[in-house]
Structure 1
Amino acid sequence: MDGANDERYRRAKELAHAAAELPPGKRMAFVRERAGDDAALIAEVGWMLDAIEVTAGLPHALENPVDLSGLSAQAAAPRHYQIIRRLGEGGMGVVYLASRNDGGFVQQVALKFLNAAAEDSPALLERFAQERHLLARLEHPGIARLLDGGLLADGRPFLALEFVQGERIDDWCEEKSLNLRQRIALFLKVCAAVEFAHRHLIIHRDIKPANILVTPDGEPKLLDFGIARMLDEVPDTDRGDGDALTLAYASPEQVQKRRLTTAADVYSLGVVLYQLVAGRRPFQDLVTPHHLSSAIISGDFLPPSRSPRGDAASAAARAPVPADVDAIVMKAMRRQARDRYAGVHELAEDLRRFLEHRPVQARKATPAYHAGRFVRRNRLGVAAGVLLAVSTLTGLGVSLYELAQARAQERLATSRQRELERAVAFEQSMLEGVDIDAMGHGLADGERRQLGDRATAISGVGFSDLARESLDVHVVSHALDAIDGRFADEPLLGASLRQSLARVLVTIGSYGHAVRELQKVLDVRTRLLPAGDPAVLSAQVDLARALDLSGQFGQARAIFEAALAKAQALGPDDTLRTAAESGRARAMADSGDLIPALAAQEALDARLSSRFPASDPGLMQLRRERVATLIRLGRRDEARAIIEPLAAVSLRALGPDHPDTLDAQATLASLLNYRNEYERSLALARTVAAAHERRFGFDHPATLRDEDLVAANLVRLEQFDEARPLLEHIIRVRRQAQGDDQPDTLESMTTMVRLLTRTDDWAGATTLQQSILQARRRVLGPDHPDTLFAQASLAGFLSHEGKYAQALDLATTALAAQRRTLGMDHPITFGTLDLIARIHTQAGELAAARDVHAEALANRQRVLGTMDAHTLESATRLFEILERLHQTAQAQAIRHRYMDPLVAMDPATLNASMRDMRDGTVDLLTQYGNAP
């Protein structure tokens, strides 16, 4: 052949094969549309179509009776089938409409035979038998049933299938002008049939519109399992039947003849879905098998929304395709099987999520996207929530205006002023209540109740996070932006409204935003009111609190002190004075001045406890802060004596879900962690974290604080696989919200350092610890307890690298500063002593190590007690050094006093920390010939 004729032949062959996939009545119209006015090409394609029919040994024209008598289709068994007409032809078989007549029982069936060429192929005969075997397993309303099968009188195999009188699914959708949602609903029924086959370990491998017929009553039926196979069979390449596929709907792994899984059917379903929503196949313009195969393997195709639509397509097929559907189709058709949906069930679930206006898993889960889906499916609820928020803000503004008038006009009665103040407080609290519970958690619970068994589909949505963000961005911020314009002539009234909204921002954890708004409030009041006016003091206290919560301890402390200097003129029970005093003490503790902070808290506690009951919210908050200071000072027994009854009082007076109760439990969990009771601490921290997440969302600072404690306990309990992703998420969120240098962020990074060392990533731990120390120095200063702790930790890493002199210098400098700021009896100083002794040991300076270990042991024994885990830690280390120095008598004295009582304990009664300590002690004694 010359080049031109060769090209014509290839073109004709491609058109003939493409036309053969269509119903016979549509083939030549398709050919004429593609060939245009090329009469010679049309004639050649027609000849090829006739040749394809001849290979089946049957006439081409459907209107002619088939050249078979009823006898030629008679089975050896007493079953009689009479051929009526030919229905179609597949890769290896020919299908006829036939009637079955057995003793008066008449039934129309689809009778399938091997074509003439396939009868001589052992592989195709085997596959035909396999189809019968597979269909016998499948009883599903969406799959054409196997009715009969066997051998004809002449020995030819046959299958009698349920005759499905219907149309191809794509033609049905066009003729019925189904809209997008109707098409997806119909497609979901196909998914159910394919999923049923997969549950029976069968993959279809040839899913296409021609194999999905829709009955007159609108029910789709999946046909032709001729090339299906069991999942546990050998790959196609081993059976020699890899070419038995429809290329336009084949997955990349089918084209490349690789081993197949259910992901191949997921891909083919994606192509069918693409065709249903876009009105055309993804690679429809590619007609050569080579180019089509290359395109499938590359995975490079336009999403349905960008696929060109022909004028011939129906209005429904030309309708815009939503981004969600684009994402679903693209995920189902990913080039790599592992990147597609895990199964047909997951594909169907995402389509149902689209139909129900829920976020689909195929799209990136951005807050804006989730919020959009949330609003769309809850239009009435969101509208009601916005209306409530607007009405609350309006009422708040009116009340504040009247309150300002009451203060400006002394003629108004004091009782009226109190009423207005209560109204403002009530409306502010209502707005704070709307934020998470009404807009997030409550709606989430309603969604889960409606979904029932499918509630897991929304478990990762984060309703409370969305509600909090929506309240900040769309309600509070909107109101704040309007204040300057609407209250320009009443700046003090505007400041009061701004302060109320800023308090809402504090409640939902938007500390940085609250700081900016409160600074504006303070600027207005400082300019227009006397310095000692209660309104000025109120703004100062709120601003200082927001600064402290955001980690800006120095600024918070300075503003608290400025407010307290003016508040001293108020009565001892005045709430502003109390708030300034307790806030200053908290800021002092956060700044590292723990001892004076504790003294201030104790004095304030003594004064308030004589005036208020133990259940007073302000007194309970002060005591929680006092416990936190005691914990940081290492006075664990005193802390426990306060926090356990306080938690009980909170639970009894306020209930299990009240914020004060949860804070008390979180403080107790922190104390338990510090006491090495990691299992109890973990359980309690999980409970509090779950409650805070329900109310505020996962990314709220309170929830992150609790989850950070969960992670710290997991690390201590060596549950690293769970701890690592949790820590990574916490650090990422805290960095995004507050920056790398924020103290809470650095605290989480410190826990990550501990995890890295426990998993032997010393290089990563050292690098991270160096960055933590630098940030601590920048933010907190060189003598802050957290900075000194970070400095001592870095010394340990330097010692591990063999840099003993540098490590010893860092550690001894840290110890001197710790003793100066924390006192001689703080447990952290004993830990630094232990570190110095270990540096001496690693440097080979055993005598120096012995002396320092002995000092650490004596201090821990005196302050913490004989059987404290840290005391026992010092004892075992001193024992080992004494043995290495051959000072056996002294070593035995240590053993008898500390180690033998530990070994004698029942391991079942010990927590994880003490069990590890006991096991290590047993190993150490055995190593030195002192086996217990």
Structure 2
Amino acid sequence: MYGRTLAFVEGRVGRGDLIALRNDYRRAVALYNEGKFHEAEIMHRRALTGREKVLGQDHPYTLCSVQALGVTLYRQGKHGEAEIMYRRALTGREKVLGQDHPDTLWSVHELGAALNSQDKHDEAELMYRRASAGREKVLGENILGQDHPDTLRSVHELGVALYRQGKHGEAEIMHRRTLAGREKVLGQDHPDTLRSVYVLGVALYKQGKLDEAEIMHRRALTGREKVLGQDHPSTLRSVHALGVALHNQGKCNEAEIMHRRAITGREKVLGQDHPDTLSSAHQLGAVLDNQDKYDEAELMYRRASAGREKVLGSDHQDTLKSLNNLALPAVSLPDQRMHEEETIMYRDALEAMEGALGPEHQDTLDSMNMLGETLLDLKKYNEAEATIRRALAGREKTLGPIHGDTLLSANNLGVALCKQKKHDEAEDMYRRALMGAEKTLGRHHQDTLMCMYNLAGALHKQGWHHEAELMYWRALGGREKILGSGHRHTLRSVIKLGAILHDRGKHSAAEIMYRRAVSDGVKYLGARDGLTLKSVKCLAMFLHSRASTVPNQVPPLR
């Protein structure tokens, strides 16, 4: 088709003009391949103007220039302009080449990318579904099929679009399909295969499948180290993701090692103030905070906050996230009085997010939820309840009633109610959170176990001791399996189980629990740790109460 068209056009405008236009196009492509995107854009615009004039708006060569200009704009972050070009190329190619021509489907695929980059994920999903379905077909002489690299690329991006809409289960299915196809066609260690391993790990992580996510991230890391090298940005992205997965399993020491490696590598390769470097600083701060290394955590949070403000601006959502977390180490210090300063920081962050992103943006609702948690720490329970109710309502509206973040807000509302001795209302919230978490995250996810633990507490407070004991046993069993015997959440479950057993008159079993809490606290956390000292205090009070109830065996002197 192109050959016949070219011969026809040569007869009308002359071969020299066509060669000049082709050379402009090739020069633009060469500049693009050298990473000179601005210069490439100028040359593509020149080639496009010439082809429009000589060949017409809908000639395949003109549409090729439109498409190439869109790609060049996209690489410069000009996603809105790129979308306009892709839509024009798509409309023209549908008209000239047909709906299922490979070039038409390429325009569909690239339009999906431009939409995804503008957070138009539902529209992007439609484009990627069309591209992947079309590419699976036999297209004239071009047999793509379901395992062709172009088809797999569309399926991969469909998974990304689904993930960004919170459809993590569907995203997992797409990424598993892409991975299987790429392993078959490209091999286990191809960079695209390893990318599929990585994004599958991310989708698994979001569903609380932490052990599977860890396996995927370790595989991606090993492969990327081998193929790309230790300090390649993609390798460091795998290091970072593995650190996050380890952290959320309570493997804080290993997570710290990963995040320190990520931050060192990113400083070297990307620079101190690159957003990815600052993300590693933020995550390292979170790990240090959970290990009670509050001074170091604060330094990391301050670095992330200052760097993000400098690079991204004070109203960028990542800057505001760092501002949120900056208060955490100070609030967590056991010997430091709770100051209003931390609450002010959260309020400032929330106000900025509402102004910059809107009241129903997910980062705004995250900030609102964190403010509620901080108010709980400051014992401002009425205000915490009101704030968390706002976050819960916003998340129900935007995410749905059983999304993980919605359930977290329901759980936090239960805490606020429980602290005000509204135990029956708290029980309702905890039951709702637990049922939703079991359905969406699974029975052994750490958030599910947290809801179970909190529900047991509400039942205990209301005197429903039998059901409370069952819940505490379930929470303990799950936490031992997922987090290990030495994790703080596991030790808290042991202490609470000791308390309910004591209240039920099962004194021997209660003593075993309290002694275990002391022993594990000393072994895993150290003798001076606050939770270890709490375990010692609980054991001492238990033994004292038992001694006071045992009849004196020696008759008093008369």
Are 2:475 and 1:856 aligned?
Answer: yes
**Residue-by-residue CA offset, 1:447-487 (whole Å, 9 max, x unaligned):** xxxxxxxxxxxxxxxxxxxxxxxxxxxxxxxxxxxx9xxx9
**Residue-by-residue CA offset, 1:875-898 (whole Å, 9 max, x unaligned):** 122222222333221111112222
Task: Decide which of 247, 253, 276 is 1:660's aligned counterpart.
Answer: 276
Task: Decide which of 461, 468, 478 is 1:842's aligned counterpart.
Answer: 461
User: 2: distance between equivalents of 1:586 and 1:868?
Assistant: 36
Unaligned runs of 5+ in 2: 1-16, 42-48, 95-99, 137-143, 176-197, 202-215, 546-558
Task: Decide which of 574, 581, 599 is 2:156's aligned counterpart.
Answer: 581
Q: Which residue matches 1:425?
A: 37
Q: Which residue matches 1:708?
A: 324
User: 2: distance between equivalents of 1:635 and 1:581?
Assistant: 30
User: 2: distance between equivalents of 1:610 and 1:677?
Assistant: 34
Could you tell me which amino acid in structure 1 is paired with residue 228 of structure 2? F
Q: Which residue matches 2:304?
A: 688
Are 2:382 and 1:810 aligned?
Answer: no
Q: Which residue matches 1:600?
A: 200
1:279-358 equivalences in 2 (<5 Å): none
**Residue-by-residue CA offset, 1:73-106 (whole Å, 9 max, x unaligned):** xxxxxxxxxxxxxxxxxxxxxxxxxxxxxxxxxx
User: 2: distance between equivalents of 1:803 and 1:821?
Assistant: 27
Question: Alignment partner of 1:791: what SS?
Answer: helix
Q: Which residue matches 1:528?
A: 92
1:815-834 equivalences in 2 (<5 Å): 815-834=434-453
Question: Alignment partner of 2:359: what SS?
Answer: coil
User: 2: distance between equivalents of 1:413 and 1:646?
Assistant: 40
User: 2: distance between equivalents of 1:612 and 1:698?
Assistant: 35
- CA apart distance, 1:505: 6.3
- CA apart distance, 1:848: 2.1
Task: Decide which of 767, 772, 776 is 2:395's aligned counterpart.
Answer: 776
User: 2: distance between equivalents of 1:562 and 1:626?
Assistant: 33
Conserved? CA contact 2:87–2:111, under 8 Å:
no
Could you tell me which amino acid in structure 2 is paired with residue 616 of structure 1? H
Conserved? CA contact 1:556–1:587, under 8 Å:
no
- CA apart distance, 1:688: 2.1
Unaligned runs of 5+ in 1: 1-404, 430-482, 507-513
Are 2:251 and 1:651 aligned?
Answer: no
Q: Could you say if the C-alpha distance between residues 608 and 830 of structure 1 is closer, same or farther in structure 2, counting changes exceeding 3 Å? A: same
Conserved? CA contact 1:666–1:685, under 8 Å:
yes
Q: As a proportion of its length, which structure holds more helix?
A: 2
Task: Decide which of 505, 527, 531 is 1:917's aligned counterpart.
Answer: 531
Conserved? CA contact 2:121–2:161, under 8 Å:
no
Conserved? CA contact 2:459–2:467, under 8 Å:
yes
Q: Could you say if the C-alpha distance between residues 787 and 416 of structure 1 is closer, same or farther in structure 2, counting changes exceeding 3 Å? A: closer
- CA apart distance, 1:542: 3.5
Could you tell me which amino acid in structure 2 is paired with residue 764 of structure 1? E
**Residue-by-residue CA offset, 1:563-587 (whole Å, 9 max, x unaligned):** 6667886999989976983783485
Conserved? CA contact 1:541–1:579, under 8 Å:
no
Q: Could you say if the C-alpha distance between residues 839 and 611 of structure 1 is closer, same or farther in structure 2, counting changes exceeding 3 Å? A: same
What is the number of equivalent residue pairs in this alignment?
455
Q: Could you say if the C-alpha distance between residues 499 and 417 of structure 1 is closer, same or farther in structure 2, counting changes exceeding 3 Å? A: closer
Question: Alignment partner of 1:928: what SS?
Answer: helix
- CA apart distance, 1:674: 5.6
Q: As a proportion of its length, which structure holds more strand?
A: 1
Are 2:500 and 1:928 aligned?
Answer: no
1:494-505 equivalences in 2 (<5 Å): none
Conserved? CA contact 1:669–1:684, under 8 Å:
yes
User: 2: distance between equivalents of 1:843 and 1:894?
Assistant: 22
User: 2: distance between equivalents of 1:567 and 1:627?
Assistant: 37
Could you tell me which amino acid in structure 1 is paired with residue 163 of structure 2? M
Conserved? CA contact 2:472–2:493, under 8 Å:
yes
Task: Decide which of 728, 748, 757 is 2:376's aligned counterpart.
Answer: 757
- CA apart distance, 1:827: 1.1
Larger Cα-atom Rg = 1
Conserved? CA contact 2:70–2:83, under 8 Å:
no
Conserved? CA contact 2:460–2:468, under 8 Å:
yes
- CA apart distance, 1:835: 0.7
Share of identical aligned residues, percent? 20
Q: Could you say if the C-alpha distance between residues 411 and 500 of structure 1 is closer, same or farther in structure 2, counting changes exceeding 3 Å? A: closer
Are 2:296 and 1:732 aligned?
Answer: no
Conserved? CA contact 1:657–1:691, under 8 Å:
yes
Task: Decide which of 411, 416, 423 is 1:792's aligned counterpart.
Answer: 411
- CA apart distance, 1:830: 1.2
- CA apart distance, 1:729: 1.6
Conserved? CA contact 1:554–1:591, under 8 Å:
no
Q: Could you say if the C-alpha distance between residues 727 and 525 of structure 1 is closer, same or farther in structure 2, counting changes exceeding 3 Å? A: farther
Task: Decide which of 699, 709, 713 is 2:315's aligned counterpart.
Answer: 699
Q: Which residue matches 2:207?
A: none
**Residue-by-residue CA offset, 1:767-808 (whole Å, 9 max, x unaligned):** 221221121122112222111212222233344455544433
User: 1: distance between equivalents of 2:259 and 2:146?
Assistant: 29
**Residue-by-residue CA offset, 1:546-569 (whole Å, 9 max, x unaligned):** 31xxxx765665556556667886
- CA apart distance, 1:724: 1.6
- CA apart distance, 1:652: 3.6
- CA apart distance, 1:749: 0.8
TM-score, length-normalised on structure 1?
Answer: 0.42
Could you tell me which amino acid in structure 1 is paired with residue 200 of structure 2? A
User: 2: distance between equivalents of 1:498 and 1:860?
Assistant: 51
Q: Could you say if the C-alpha distance between residues 867 and 778 of structure 1 is closer, same or farther in structure 2, counting changes exceeding 3 Å? A: same
